[in-house]
Chains A and B, each alone.
Chain A
Amino acid sequence: MDQSEVMERVVKILTPWVKDEAALANVSMETNILEDLKVNSARLVDVVIAFEDDFDIEIADEDVDQVNTVGDAVNLISSKL
């Protein structure tokens, strides 16, 4: 799976939790999940579960702590595929 496909699926998974639609429309690898997309920080655990289910991977808690941007998520997921 190439990076653009992972990116596309990550954005799709994030979409229900995104509060800033404009930021979502201009999403890039540098987009910050909490600050730019305004995802409620409490819901990050739900996003991670959705990543795990969608990509059939396991994500450790300490890995989650390193994810700030969409790119961080894409790279983390890609490393486990």
Chain B
Amino acid sequence: MSATGRPRRVVVTGLGVIAPNANGVADFELALRKGRSGIKHQESMVEAKFGCTVAGSPEGVDELCQSTFTEEELLAMNMNHRYASLAAIEAWQDAGLERPARDSDEVDWDSGAILGTGIGGMDTIAEKVVPLTNAGKVKRMGSTSVEQVMASGISARISGQLALGNQVTTNSSACSTGTEALVMGLERIRAGRAERMLCGGAEAASHYIWAGFDAMRVLNRNSNDAPEKASRPMSASAGGFIPGSGAGVVLLESLDSALARGARIWAELVGGGVNCGGHRMGGSMTAPNPTSVQRCIREALADAGVGPQEVDAINGHLTATMADPREVASWAKALEREPGRLPPITSTKSMIGHGLGAAGGLEAVASVLMVARGFVHPSINCEDLHPEIEPHASSIPHELLELPDLDVLVKAGFGFGDVNACLVFRRYKA
């Protein structure tokens, strides 16, 4: 609480992104505006006889790593570490903060990180830990496998890169992970326990991570010959989601700190909420309880002090499964809008696939860009709207929508385990 009795205001001062359709915030904004798909054919999925053989996987990451990390650091960094660290360092520098010298003993006690992951170092487990252990060659694993498979590896790694001395942890709540991380960071800064928190999520591009989803038959296997058309949220021909990967990181900062530093402010994070459906009322390990989804949205809005009628845009969870129509119905109910009155609702996953633990971070970056610049990116590949979503057709942008007056954008993420997280971003006003 501040001296006024109101919670301390929390703003976004930095963004970082490694995504299937762009690396870096500037190109990511361009990609979002153009509706650029990052979904591509994946030979590893063909070889392993997946039903779905396309996915979203960032490109050009090796070159970025060579110019950002030392050779020794890279020897201990799997894909999850690389994506998370690149995005976190970009967010840090985007906020006008210096990357500290490696040999400096100064620790930044006011800055921390909550960087989540859904499945973690599965590539290291699959390619190193299991084969070497089974072959009786444990010694050959070397010293770096623990730090790459421990869930908190990604946040621990960035703490070392940036000398973070506040809370450094990794949350995990399946596909709501990255969204939840921002809610947790918001709460910590509001409580006065930190000034700056790097928040978001990461997930490696690995067919070992995606295999279980293919086995569940929740990946779209009907569009292997047209990768860029394969991720089809809200479409009548949606046949499941397309796996994605990467990292999205947002630097949350107390308004006091941002103003004191003269930092550029992207947007304000005015509220958030998390809950769980308890696997009741239609909810289960793999399906969301619609009542809890609506409660989560309402609670986030109440936390933000924003009325349902004030919402100008929605960045949905919208994965391209049979849950999409139910999600759109939940938005309409939570925001008390009749068909035709729902604000523009879009799916970042239509371009980058479902980043799992990275999804919330990636989509939070997209959400902040939309609020800050006043646009809603197209939701691609849903020209043939799902019949149950058709009544909301006028709310779904197939092309870039310039909305210079966009003030409030709500972003939600839902995950296996029946968990939900919701964020309310508002254009920053002094």
Contacts and interface: CB of A to CB of B under 8 A. Distances in A.
Q: Is the A/B pair a real complex?
A: yes
> At the interface, is chain A mostly helix, strand, loop or mixed?
helix
A49 B72 contact: no
Interface string B71-96: 11001000000000000000000000
B71 A45 contact: no
A42 interface: yes
Interface residues of B, number: 10
Contacts of A19: 103
B140 interface: yes
A43 B72 contact: yes
Nearest to A42: B143
Interface in A1-54: 15-17, 19, 40, 42-46, 49
Contact of A17 (B72, B139, B140): B72
A46 B140 CA distance: 8
Interface residues of A, number: 11
A16 B72 CA distance: 5
B143 A46 contact: yes
A17 B144 CA distance: 13
B262 interface: no
B136 interface: no
B142 interface: yes
21 contacts: A15-B71, A16-B70, A16-B71, A16-B72, A16-B75, A17-B72, A19-B103, A40-B72, A42-B143, A43-B72, A43-B143, A43-B144, A44-B143, A45-B139, A45-B142, A45-B143, A46-B75, A46-B142, A46-B144, A49-B139, A49-B142
Q: Across chains A and B, which 3 residue pairs bring their CB atoms closest together, nearest first? A: A16-B71, A46-B142, A45-B143
Interface of B: 70-72, 75, 103, 139-140, 142-144
Interface of A: 15-17, 19, 40, 42-46, 49
Given A42-B143, A49-B140, 5 more contacts: A15-B71, A17-B72, A40-B72, A43-B72, A43-B143
